[in-house]
Copies of this chain bind each other. A is one copy, B any other.
Amino acid sequence: MPAHHHDNSDLTKNQALVYDTLNAADGPLSAYTILDQLREAGFRAPLQVYRALERLQALGLVHRLESLNAFVACSHPSCEEDGTVAFAICETCGRVFEFTDAELKSRLGAWAKTTGFRPQKTTIEMRGICAECKAA
């Protein structure tokens, strides 16, 4: 089985519950918000959420937004193959726009190459106002 192309059958019960919760949300959720939404499904402790999130991130199905301490389902197929993803986060409506840019990736790679730095995980997040909220 290739490393990408997961469906929910690859996931344990808790992982699937957390993943479904993130997919159903229209914006990023904190770990504790996920926990609250899964109380009825039997979740009792933050660790259950954090453990599931850890695995989902490793699979590339979920991203952590560092500037929000929150999590979103990946909206881009095969994220685990790319590695460098950027986010635009609207301060007004809370929506998150995920995108990639080869040149962005390549500039960071170039800096790393000239300095000898070996990047393992890259975070790119723009906070601001989305087009819709700007218009409103």
Partner-B contacts on A (CB < 8 A): 66-67, 86, 88, 90-91, 97, 99, 101, 103-104, 107-108, 111-112, 115-131, 134
> How many copies of this chain does one complex carry?
2
Q: When the two chains form their complex, are residues A116 and B130 in contact, meaning their CB atoms are under 8 A apart?
A: yes
Given A66-B123, A67-B66, A112-B128, are A88 and B107 also a contact pair (CB < 8 Å)?
no
Q: When the two chains form their complex, are residues A117 and B131 in contact, meaning their CB atoms are under 8 A apart?
A: yes
Bound: A67/B123 CA distance, A: 8
Q: When the two chains form their complex, are residues B118 and A134 in contact, meaning their CB atoms are under 8 A apart?
A: yes
Bound: A91/B103 CA distance, A: 25
Given A88-B111, A103-B103, A111-B99, are A127 and B121 also a contact pair (CB < 8 Å)?
yes
Report A131 CB to chain B, min CB distance, Å: 3
Q: When the two chains form their complex, are residues B130 and A120 in contact, meaning their CB atoms are under 8 A apart?
A: no
Bound: A119/B86 CA distance, A: 13
Q: When the two chains form their complex, are residues A134 and B116 in contact, meaning their CB atoms are under 8 A apart?
A: yes
Q: When the two chains form their complex, are residues B117 and A128 in contact, meaning their CB atoms are under 8 A apart?
A: yes
Bound: A87/B64 CA distance, A: 18
